[in-house]
A = this chain, B = another copy of it.
Amino acid sequence: MSEPRRRAPRADARRNYERLLAEADAAFRQEGTDASLEGVARRAGVAIGTLYGHFPHRRALVGALLRDRNQALFARGEELQSGSTAAAALTQWVHAVVEHAAAYQGLAAILAAGLDDEGSELHASCLRMADISDRLIARARAAGALRQDVTSADVHALMNAAAWTREHMPAEQADRLVKLTMDGMLSSAT
């Protein structure tokens, strides 16, 4: 239990790690999250084994790429806890998450799976996101702005569905879906 005191990573390791991340990001943007990992390694000028050394599986790569982006999203979420109307805050949060979850083609599916899948790097982030959502939902409900029968699962379903939509249709269409559904969720409160 005595903290092995890991040495700092070697310079070449760090270099390759960054290079891989950059190329993976490019590849995922172009071809979606199921882009060829051998292709990524090749473009990064590195052997395939090196890629697997840094990222044992595809999810790890996706997780690493999302880390920064996640921080920004969480910050936005916390910010929304106080400002604006309860209803507007929730709506904006949903839009923010949808945009985030549609960064790469196929990401929505990975995230949807990752919520259950204990132990993935994504799992922690998903929990954090869920927590932020829950608080915004509670606030909206307390303010009487949200239909009583709307659950947080409903909101998450919408987020995922809209993210997927954004991957397969014009972004504007996904936004309209969110708007219409939120209208349904917020409307008959009173």
Which residues of A approach B to under 8 Å, CB–CB? 109, 112-113, 150-151, 153-154, 157-158, 160-162, 164-165, 168-169, 173-174, 176-177, 180-185, 187-188
Interface SS, A side:
helix
CB of B168 within 8 A of CB of A177, answer no
Contact B173 A165 (CB under 8 A): no
Q: Which of B109, B162, B173, B183 contacts A184 (CB 8 A)?
A: B183
C-alpha spacing A75/B89, complex, angstroms: 44
Residues of B close to A180: CB separation below 8 A: 150, 154, 158, 181, 184-185
Would A176 and B164 be within 8 Å (CB), given that A181-B181, A181-B184, A187-B183 are in contact?
no
